Structure 1
Amino acid sequence: MSDIRSLFATRLYRARLSDHGPSIDARELEASCLSIAEDDEAGQEWCEREGYPGYTSYASLTDLPWRFPIFAEVVKALDAHVAAFAQDLQFDLGDKGLVLEDIWINVLPEGGSHGSHIHPHSVISGTTYVAMPEGTSALKLEDPRLPMMMAAPTRTRDCRDELRSFVYVAPEAGDVLLWESWLRHEVPMNMAEEDRISVSFNYKWE
């Protein structure tokens, strides 16, 4: 009798941000993101210079939890979610912990996209979703084994998620997604007329 197992799992964590930590006012968080995007001239200049669609605070602001108290509340919730995910991953952290490395705002307008990338210097990365208008982009995740599959045939259209080369996850506003930082991911083109707003982050081991 055959014994077939799935090995080398790639874990994806999904929950409501409100499942851990304090209650966060969604409208206040969205308003804070848009206010920062409007006032952050350095971030706007970086996006224009680099051809980055919409707005991100990634290259300009490193102190969101200090600037707006609501981001400090977001971080409290994220700390709890990351701890739960690390437990599921069965990390042996020793006398160290997973701590926030950076956190930034993304405002993706109609027609904007974020290309495929990884976060090589972190342990856990993720995003919490602030505004997800109908028809906006799902998150696209890539099988990390894909570069080694040069001669593999394609999979059937209805194959299991664990066997797909790409998996699309459509989060809702208020969701948080976590993954290990080596997992390649991208945001395809936003086909909605309204902005797709999210807050992304990295956690490091120290």
Structure 2
Amino acid sequence: MAQITSLFTTPIYRASLGEHEPAIDTRELDVSCQTIAEDDEAGQVWCDENDFPGYTSYASLTDLPWRFPIFADLVKSLDAHVAAFARDLHFDLGDRELKLEDIWINILPPGGIHTAHIHPHSVISGTTYVALPEGTSSIKFEDPRLAMMMAAPPRTADAPEHLRQFIYPNPKVGEVLLWESWLRHEVPMNMTDEDRVSVSFNYAWG
């Protein structure tokens, strides 16, 4: 009898931040994100000059855990989540650890999008969700083999998730998603009337 084996999986880690201490109050985190966005003139200028929708601290601030204690607590929680994911991935890290490389705020306004991209100099990337208006856009993951499917027919509408070319998890406030940094992803247009707020991060090896 014929057998079909699924090879070369693309794992996505999804969990509540609260699975690892310290506890994070997402309302306090939201207030901190909004306060930083209002005060970060350099970040606002960068967003304007680069036609970036809404606000990101990616190009302006590198010290969020120093500025607000809640970000220091968040990093402690994320460290534990990333370590758990690395074990599930069976990474052989030797005598080096996966360490936080950068962490930044994203405030996506109505009509805003984050176009498809990867994080090429990192090992694990992720996002934790701070404010998600009802009906706002999910994150969109792309099958990494897509560029090589030149002659492949489309999948049926009822194809199982592991065979689809695009996956749209619907995260909840207080959840964290992790993935390997080479995985292409994007955030479709925010079709609501409120801001979508998240905190993203990269972990590097050594």
The alignment's TM-score, normalised by the length of structure 2, stands at: 0.99
**1:116-160 Cα shifts (integer Å, max 9, x gaps):** 000000000000000001010100000000000000011100101
Tell me which stretches of 4 or more aligned residues in structure 1 moved more than 6 Å.
none
Aligned to 2:80: 80
Letter paired with 1:86: A
Deviation at 1:3, TM superposition (A): 1.4
Deviation at 1:60, TM superposition (A): 0.1
**1:60-79 Cα shifts (integer Å, max 9, x gaps):** 00000000000000000000
Aligned to 1:31: 31
Deviation at 1:165, TM superposition (A): 0.7
Aligned to 2:17: 17
For residues 38 and 19 of structure 1, what CA distance do their matches in structure 2 show?
31
For residues 55 and 171 of structure 2, what CA distance do their matches in structure 1 show?
20
Aligned to 1:8: 8
For residues 2 and 187 of structure 2, what CA distance do their matches in structure 1 show?
39
Aligned to 1:128: 128
Deviation at 1:89, TM superposition (A): 0.3
Deviation at 1:25, TM superposition (A): 1.4
Corresponding residue SS for 1:86: helix
Percent same amino acid among aligned pairs? 72
Aligned to 1:117: 117
Stretches of structure 1 that go unaligned for 5 or more consecutive residues are none
User: RMSD in angstroms over aligned alpha carbons?
Assistant: 0.4
For residues 34 and 139 of structure 1, what CA distance do their matches in structure 2 show?
21
Aligned to 1:42: 42
Deviation at 1:197, TM superposition (A): 0.2
For residues 170 and 49 of structure 1, what CA distance do their matches in structure 2 show?
31
Equivalences for residues 91-170 of structure 1 within 5 A: 91-170=91-170
Aligned to 1:188: 188
**1:85-144 Cα shifts (integer Å, max 9, x gaps):** 000000000000100000000000000000000000000000000000101010000000
For residues 18 and 65 of structure 1, what CA distance do their matches in structure 2 show?
18
Corresponding residue SS for 1:71: helix
Deviation at 1:179, TM superposition (A): 0.2
Q: Does 1:54 align with 2:46?
A: no
Stretches of structure 2 that go unaligned for 5 or more consecutive residues are none
Deviation at 1:201, TM superposition (A): 0.1
Letter paired with 1:45: V
For residues 192 and 112 of structure 1, what CA distance do their matches in structure 2 show?
10
